[in-house]
A and B are shown apart, each in its own frame.
Chain A
Amino acid sequence: MTYAVEVNNVSMHFNMNKDKIDNLKEYCIKLLKRQLFFEDFTALQNISFTINRGDVFGIIGLNGSGKSTLLKIISGILKPSAGSVTVAGTVAPLIELGAGFDADLTARENIFLNGSVLGFSRDFMRQKFEEIVEFSELEEFIDVPIKNFSSGMVARIGFSVATIVKPDILICDEILSVGDYKFQEKCEKRIQELMSDQTTVILVSHSIEQIERMCNRILWLERGCIKAIGGREIIPLYQPDFEGRDS
């Protein structure tokens, strides 16, 4: 059996200069004064794991433990400093909904723009336009500039566009917490639909309840290292006072 995602010894380092040098003058001064220290920050260290096709793979960990960084590496947005990632199939990254929305354009224009950001063809978007609008339930606002939208409304459109194709791998970074409860339920249902269709899902969420309900495998990151990986049984280790279904 081939894996959907194979992460091989991945490390990610960031240069954390105390103050970010991005102009020549500062660079020269620092260079002359020999103050050009780069503080190496390791966001991920020797991470290796695999995700099977059809898994719903949860990633948990405190803020800053490297979850988003890992997701960005898997979706190809960031190149790891070391190691490699192999991904089998198409990836729909929902790192932040509505990435690439332009506040001055209307919802309609943004839907098409967002579609092309994700690499969909114009014809395909025309075909799916109705479906996208219907799912987002924002028919009345379709010709209003996005800047007049609430963040929940923007997220609705973003989610609708991003999940319009059945990707092989769906990556969700804490996106299910936006929008009202009704839309959250709808998103979750959509994800469940995709799951039953052999889509692999990678899910980061601060709702442990959600992770425990949806995921069959869970990775626990702590300060860039793997603390534990396994089934639902690691949840009580992460959050001892969590009242799971089976406890």
Chain B
Amino acid sequence: MKRGLAILNIYFEVFRKYHFLLQDLVARDFKLKYRRSILGFLWSILNPLLMMLVITAVFSNMFKSDIQYFPVYYLCGYLIFNFVVEATNGALTSIVQSGYLIKKVYIPKYIFPLEKTTFALVNVVFSFAAVLLVILITKMPIQPTILLIPIPVFYAFVFSTGLGLILASCNTFFRDTGHLYSVWTTAWMYLTPLFYPLESIPESIQKFIFYNPLYYFVTLLRELVIEGRMPDPAMHLTCICFSLLFLLVGLFIFKRSQDRFILYI
């Protein structure tokens, strides 16, 4: 027990030493992403808005009777889904991309996938301005529970970090992980009720969706934003279990394989 605490303490000290690097790398990504675009970081808000317009134009008639406040319903799902995909995609290539650093200085390697998920987190925070905007425009009643938005986002962040660690390890040894994963994210998008209500699909497929962590994150967010309802503890517990499970598996795989990364980059 005492030894366990001592080890945790060392990890914490190392993290404290390198959290400036984490900040600097996020800042660098931010600068590089927006340096050459005129609208700058407004794109983080504009992009979901435009997506929402397109999807609303296409789908809202189809599910009109089932879904109240379709634009907000869709945006909530889209933001969480997009956040997870961006975070994990960034993490996936992070180790290979940082090879030039890993080969020359000692840095705790988890910093790199963590940096990418943190960068996606910063972006999603801006994107929530889009949700507010659409709520105001569509005259949807504002729920006080909207203040709890950070909770589902945090669950999704922990989940993405875990999944990102797994993907980063795999991709270092097998470069086609990225291709497989991009196929998977397409399927994943349809397996997450983003622009359709869960009830509208056959029960045989619904069963699969209950294994999809994103379904819970998205539903939690919608309950907070649209329905103004405090989600029940079982919902939180499900989210926490999924997030922690992925984080622990991710840490385990990453820790087991990190010493061999340098031989493959």
Give chain A's interface residues, CB within 8 Å of chain B: 14-15, 22-25, 27, 75-79, 91, 93, 95-96, 99-100, 102, 104-105, 109, 112-113, 115-122
Contact = CB atoms under 8 A, between A and B. Distances in A.
A86 B264 CA distance: 26
Nearest to A75: B106
A104 B27 CA distance: 13
Name A's interface SS: loop
Contacts of B35: 104
Nearest to B176: A23
Contact of A113 (B24, B106, B263): B24
B112 to A, nearest CB: 12
A27 B170 CA distance: 13
Given A116-B24, A117-B107, 19 more contacts: A22-B264, A23-B174, A24-B174, A75-B105, A76-B106, A77-B103, A78-B262, A79-B259, A95-B105, A99-B101, A99-B105, A100-B101, A102-B32, A104-B35, A105-B28, A109-B28, A116-B20, A117-B101, A117-B105
Interface residues of B, number: 27
A104 B101 contact: no
B219 to A, nearest CB: 34
B261 to A, nearest CB: 10
Contacts of B25: 113
Nearest to A77: B106
A93 B24 contact: no
B28 A113 contact: yes
Nearest to B106: A76
B252 interface: no
Contacts, number: 70
Contacts of B23: 116, 122
Nearest to B173: A22
A36 B35 CA distance: 46
Given A23-B174, A24-B176, A100-B100, A77 B24 contact: no
* List of 6 A-B pairs having minimum Cβ-Cβ separation, nearest first: A99-B104, A116-B21, A116-B20, A76-B106, A79-B259, A23-B176
A22 B174 contact: yes
B262 A102 contact: no
B17 interface: yes
Interface in B221-265: 259, 262-264
B183 to A, nearest CB: 13
B18 interface: yes
